[in-house]
Chains A and B, each alone.
Chain A
């Protein structure tokens, strides 16, 4: 198992060192919420703040979301698990943040606990990695030697469904949506300003939380995140009505990986698949 206490100590140590040396202005990590289970995103700005940092198995937020709150050029240290690190790589690819502004404190972990169900979610089944692909300092020991499961295994059940059944399933799920936009708010890749759903000219979708607008909102959002979603699962965790948004994102990510041979947020030199093309792409992808 991952030694969370050790990681917490390392996190505090590194945060203190970086802040005192003036290498960074802010350390983005986790702080205590109203109880152990509900840790919160926390930005430590002074060495006194460092004592408030925590890290435990419930710290499953993707802190990459908060990077874009700081003006370009701010030196930031950020605690990043595997998925978070992928998100940062993706943001660097998209030129939303600069590599030289970041000190990534990598956190290797087998998985984090879900606050709602108290189950450990194996990181291999979500973003497919235990260790962050990009980091400056690793806060724990690298994790190895777990049986390899495909992150896309969970999809098999839904892919095998008849299309009518699948439609009924998604219709039911999207009908639950109350359009709180928590998924958009939590997503590290959703940074458009304004979001298409907030535009009124043209008005892309109905704003009432009813079926057609919900469908339009979610389908378009899946499209906007195609080839960019790094499968941190933050949208589903943030969802107050428990729509399994991660399933759809995963499916789109899978298709993109199959069609274009590249997963999101793995290498700094990659380009997001939909702002890139190959002349030798096959027309078969359109069938």
Chain B
């Protein structure tokens, strides 16, 4: 059976989520492995969400936010940028493949970019294979 990655997408309400909506309404095709969770701002994302997602079986995590400078709350994504950069470094030093976590700035008008990013990220995760490192044991046995 071919590997169907589980990817968690955390999208900011104002840009990436609207961008995803646009990708949908313009009938763009992109892989269905992404499960999107909407948050009000990329700075709403607690780094623990990301660690926990990996533990609960995510093969990759994609975070989407507004372009820096375009944040609905003016500065949210600028905080998020620093915070998520640290998250990435931590996952990397712990030994997780750096390609499993990605942050992208996708605006509400970039439906195309959303589809492209999801396509690209899914292909990347497929190449990396199932994420077994952080996954909790009960889930690992089932797989």
Interface residues on chain A, size class:
35 or more
Which of chain A's residues 126-168 have a Cβ closer than 8 Å to chain B?
158-159, 163-168
Whether A260 and B82, one on each chain, are in contact in the complex, defined by CB atoms closer than 8 angstroms, is yes
Bound-complex Cα distance A204 to B56 (A) = 12
Bound-complex Cα distance A206 to B139 (A) = 14
Whether A248 and B55, one on each chain, are in contact in the complex, defined by CB atoms closer than 8 angstroms, is no
User: With A216-B48, A216-B55, A279-B68 known to touch, is A274 a contact of B83 (CB < 8 Å)?
Assistant: yes
Which residues of B have CB within 8 Å of A222?
90
Bound-complex Cα distance A165 to B93 (A) = 11
Which residues of B have CB within 8 Å of A211?
136-137
Whether A279 and B69, one on each chain, are in contact in the complex, defined by CB atoms closer than 8 angstroms, is yes
Which candidate, A101-109, A113-121, A249-257, is the interface stretch facing chain B?
A249-257
Which of chain B's residues 109-127 have a Cβ closer than 8 Å to chain A?
none
Interface flags for B77-115 (1: CB within 8 Å of A; 0: not) read 011011111111111111111000001010000000000
Whether A277 and B78, one on each chain, are in contact in the complex, defined by CB atoms closer than 8 angstroms, is yes
Whether B134 and A215, one on each chain, are in contact in the complex, defined by CB atoms closer than 8 angstroms, is yes
Whether B81 and A283, one on each chain, are in contact in the complex, defined by CB atoms closer than 8 angstroms, is yes
Interface residue? B133 (CB, 8 A): yes
Bound-complex Cα distance A278 to B81 (A) = 10
Q: Smallest Cβ distance from B76 to chain A, in angstroms?
A: 10
Bound-complex Cα distance A275 to B136 (A) = 31
Bound-complex Cα distance A164 to B48 (A) = 22
Whether A256 and B75, one on each chain, are in contact in the complex, defined by CB atoms closer than 8 angstroms, is no
Interface of B is mostly: helix
Whether B105 and A216, one on each chain, are in contact in the complex, defined by CB atoms closer than 8 angstroms, is no
Bound-complex Cα distance A163 to B100 (A) = 13
Whether A220 and B75, one on each chain, are in contact in the complex, defined by CB atoms closer than 8 angstroms, is no
User: With A167-B94, A215-B134, A216-B51 known to touch, is A227 a contact of B78 (CB < 8 Å)?
Assistant: no
For chain B, the count of residues having a C-beta within 8 Å of the partner chain is 33
Whether B86 and A286, one on each chain, are in contact in the complex, defined by CB atoms closer than 8 angstroms, is no
Scoring A168, A223, A260 by chain B CB atoms within 10 A of each residue's CB, the highest score goes to A223
Which residues of B have CB within 8 Å of A260?
82
Interface of A is mostly: helix
Interface flags for A247-279 (1: CB within 8 Å of B; 0: not) read 010011001100110000000000001111111
Q: Smallest Cβ distance from B137 to chain A, in angstroms?
A: 7
Whether B95 and A163, one on each chain, are in contact in the complex, defined by CB atoms closer than 8 angstroms, is yes
Whether B90 and A281, one on each chain, are in contact in the complex, defined by CB atoms closer than 8 angstroms, is no
Whether A255 and B89, one on each chain, are in contact in the complex, defined by CB atoms closer than 8 angstroms, is yes
Whether A212 and B90, one on each chain, are in contact in the complex, defined by CB atoms closer than 8 angstroms, is no
Bound-complex Cα distance A260 to B79 (A) = 12
Whether A286 and B81, one on each chain, are in contact in the complex, defined by CB atoms closer than 8 angstroms, is yes
Query: Across the two chains, which residue of chain A brings its CB closest to B81?
Result: A281
Which residues of B have CB within 8 Å of A223?
47-48, 86-87, 90
Bound-complex Cα distance A159 to B92 (A) = 10
Whether A277 and B81, one on each chain, are in contact in the complex, defined by CB atoms closer than 8 angstroms, is yes
Query: Across the two chains, which residue of chain B brings its CB closest to A206?
Result: B136
Whether B55 and A215, one on each chain, are in contact in the complex, defined by CB atoms closer than 8 angstroms, is yes
Interface residue? A170 (CB, 8 A): yes
Bound-complex Cα distance A204 to B52 (A) = 8
Whether A166 and B93, one on each chain, are in contact in the complex, defined by CB atoms closer than 8 angstroms, is yes
Whether A219 and B90, one on each chain, are in contact in the complex, defined by CB atoms closer than 8 angstroms, is yes
Q: Smallest Cβ distance from B91 to chain A, in angstroms?
A: 8
A171-B95, A248-B90, A283-B105 are known; give 5 further A-B pairs, CB within 8 A: A170-B94, A215-B55, A219-B90, A274-B82, A286-B88
Q: List 14 A-B contacts (CB under 8 A).
A: A167-B95, A168-B95, A205-B52, A216-B52, A219-B90, A222-B90, A223-B87, A226-B86, A248-B90, A277-B78, A277-B81, A281-B82, A286-B85, A286-B88
Interface residues of A (CB under 8 A from B): 158-159, 163-171, 196, 204-206, 211-212, 215-216, 219-220, 222-223, 226-227, 248, 251-252, 255-256, 259-260, 273-279, 281, 283, 285-286
